[in-house]
Structure 1
Amino acid sequence: MTDVPAQETPPSAVTAGRAAPAGRAARRTARRARWAPYGFVAPFFVLFGAFGLFPLLYTGWASLHRVELTSLERWEWVGAGNYVRLAGDPFFWNALGNTFVIGVLSTVPQLLLALTLAHLLDVRLRGRAFFRVVALAPYATSVAAATLVFALLFGRDHGFVNWVLSTVGIAPVDWQNGPWASKAAVSAIVVWRWTGYNALVYLAAMQTVPRELYEAAALDGASRWQRFVHVTLPGLRPTILFTVVVSTIGATQLFGEPLLFGAGAGASGGADHQFQTLGLYLYEQGWVNLHLGRASAIAWLMLLMLLTVFGAARLARTRARGRARAASIPGRGV
């Protein structure tokens, strides 16, 4: 019986058989590498969509309806009716004016003090870490505790501030009921809480400015003030812009300090609404008067005002850069 020789597999077929799984594995690896970054950032977009974008759109839709907190199932379309009503509401304009005044009284001194404090902490001195912790302590204090302490300090009859004023012959000030005194008192709380935080932000930015610039300016005979103006401030320009933006947003949303400072006044912001901010007015309309649609309109107006202010500031900055660039080109600055 003749043995039939076994048929051998050609080498090319073996190579092709091994290459096919290897090619599929390479393609799968390439797909994973291509889609992996999207998988890593997907949780952020999911959370942002659920807790950021959806509430924003839902609030905008609610602002176009008459919705009462006691009957959320009944939505009555009013279009721009809530916005028109707010435009004719004197309490809205009062809250807007109070927000602007308190924002200016708190933001400007706060950032100036923070810049000064950061410059002092940037100097090499003993116990710098201790002073930095002390500067950050007010930020770590809860808004409730800070406001209650300041309410005692600004008490009309037994407050420490009025006692200090009486020692120099100034009559006691009614800090809670005075139209300007109450705004100054609320602003003082904001300044105390946020100055240290902004000072540490400025301090971190100051330490990124190259020390060679200070040394070169000192060799040229520049004083310490001149080095601060011509070296430190230009290096801090992006950081200063950041703190201005964040402080402006915080001033627009101011809520806890005026609410707790008014003691029994609640969301009205004083007996005459003398320190009622937009945040308090929104809370009063939505959760006291139960007008959820009107409160949604206030929230969207606050957002639109911030976008308008920042858009105008960005446009002015772009135009200023364009003029400076044009002036630097020979023959274009005339």
Structure 2
Amino acid sequence: MASRKHLRSRASAWDRKYSPYLYISPFFLLFAVVGLFPLVYTVWVAAHDWDLIMGQGEFVGFDNFAHVVGQRAFWIALRNTLSIFILSTGPQVVAAIIIAYMLDSHLRARTFWRMGVLLPYVVTPVAVALIFSNFFSQRFGLVNSVLDTIGIDAIGWQSEVLPSHLAIASMVNFRWTGYNALIFLAAMQAVPRDLYEQAEIDGAGKVRQFLSVTVPMLRPTIIFVVITSTIGGLQIFDEPRLYDQYGRGGTDGQWQTMTIYLYELGWTRSDFGLASAVAVLLFLLIVAIGIINFTITRRIATGDGRKKTASRRRFAKGVRS
């Protein structure tokens, strides 16, 4: 009898100690198969002379990385990727916050408008790219036609660097602004309404309430959206790939991103070693920018926390005196 109780107690202790790990183990197993293993295998391929047809060749170490970094096309692709990322992420976040604030106000047919802002996200990237590529066409595009009617020379949306980046960034903003607006809307609805009532009693208008109450309360959500937009923006592929009929990022690589450059090395030149080296460098770039974002936002949050603590201490001293 005592032995049975002892076994039951040990089984119960084992269950309390190890059963949580069993419940979460499927996620880690799946991540190891579809996430960690491809990453490690990409590093392995990048360290070899790997051909698409012949397969694995000899071990070359960091030669593929040195070769890629020494190519002018790599730095052009890096410039284009960062440029499109900057032109899309900043305006996208600002526009999403403003749209979310409007949807959170007392609008008629709010459900209709909330569903409407999500429609661009539902549209396939192929359709968006085809529409915008015709929209920004240099000869017969709607934008240049409008500019011509008001006496402005046509802009080389597909031949110049910055205009092509603006056009592709507009595609990204069109697709993702509504999605991020719904994320901000969910965060705004979690803000206590008492804060707005107190601000209104203190004489704050709508703009002041938005800047002093809404935006500070959205800081964790803004950090989340910026990080996810960073990861997605640095891996952009569909929009620049389908921006013209050739899909190579322009005649001189005007909008060739890192992912298109990677695709060209792997499937056009059949060099998986160089393509994997670009993939590893892109991964390191995303990690580096993510760490920078995390560090900056953490310092901002820490600074705000110190300011709040100092103001509370000053207020407490004033009450005591």
**TM-score with structure 1 length normalisation?**
0.87
Counterpart pick for 1:209 among 187, 191, 197: 191
Correspondence list, 1:116-135, <5 A: 116-135=98-117
Root-mean-square deviation over aligned CA pairs? 2.1
- Alignment length (residue pairs): 310
Residue 36 of structure 1 deviates from its aligned partner by: 2.3
Assess, with a 3 A threshold, how the Cα gap between structure 1 residues 207 and 145 changes in structure 2: closer, same or farther: same
Q: Counterpart in 2 of 1:256?
A: 238
- 1:300 equivalent to 2:280? Answer yes
Aligned partner letter, 1:231: V
Q: Counterpart in 2 of 1:152?
A: 134
- 1:225 equivalent to 2:240? Answer no
Counterpart pick for 2:292 among 312, 315, 319: 312
Aligned partner letter, 2:236: L
Q: Counterpart in 2 of 1:14?
A: none
Cα shift readout 1:99-131 (whole Å, capped 9, x = no counterpart): 111111111111111111111111011100100
Cα shift readout 1:286-328 (whole Å, capped 9, x = no counterpart): 1111111111111111111122222233334455566677787
Correspondence list, 1:71-220, <5 A: 71-72=54-55, 74-220=56-202
Q: Counterpart in 2 of 1:41?
A: 24
Give the distance between the partners of 1:109 and 1:243, measured in 2 at CA.
12
Cα shift readout 1:17-38 (whole Å, capped 9, x = no counterpart): x454454345334433433222
Give the distance between the partners of 1:316 and 1:114, measured in 2 at CA.
21
Assess, with a 3 A threshold, how the Cα gap between structure 1 residues 321 and 149 changes in structure 2: closer, same or farther: closer
Assess, with a 3 A threshold, how the Cα gap between structure 1 residues 258 and 235 changes in structure 2: closer, same or farther: same
Does the residue aligned with 2:283 lie in a helix, a strand or coil? helix
Aligned partner letter, 2:266: G
Does the residue aligned with 1:261 lie in a helix, a strand or coil? coil
Residue 262 of structure 1 deviates from its aligned partner by: 2.0
Does the residue aligned with 2:166 lie in a helix, a strand or coil? helix
Correspondence list, 1:17-56, <5 A: 18-56=1-39
* Stretch moving more, 236-245 or 171-180: 171-180
5+ long unaligned stretches in structure 1:
1-17
Give the distance between the partners of 2:304 and 2:219, measured in 1 at CA.
17
Assess, with a 3 A threshold, how the Cα gap between structure 1 residues 329 and 201 changes in structure 2: closer, same or farther: closer
For the 8 Å contact 2:120–2:174, the answer to whether it is kept is yes
Residue 60 of structure 1 deviates from its aligned partner by: 1.1
Give the distance between the partners of 2:204 and 2:306, measured in 1 at CA.
30
Q: Counterpart in 2 of 1:286?
A: 266
Cα shift readout 1:167-210 (whole Å, capped 9, x = no counterpart): 32223333222222211111110010001001111111111111
Give the distance between the partners of 1:70 and 1:202, measured in 2 at CA.
48
Aligned-residue sequence identity (percent) comes to: 42
Counterpart pick for 1:60 among 43, 59, 66: 43
Assess, with a 3 A threshold, how the Cα gap between structure 1 residues 241 and 37 changes in structure 2: closer, same or farther: same
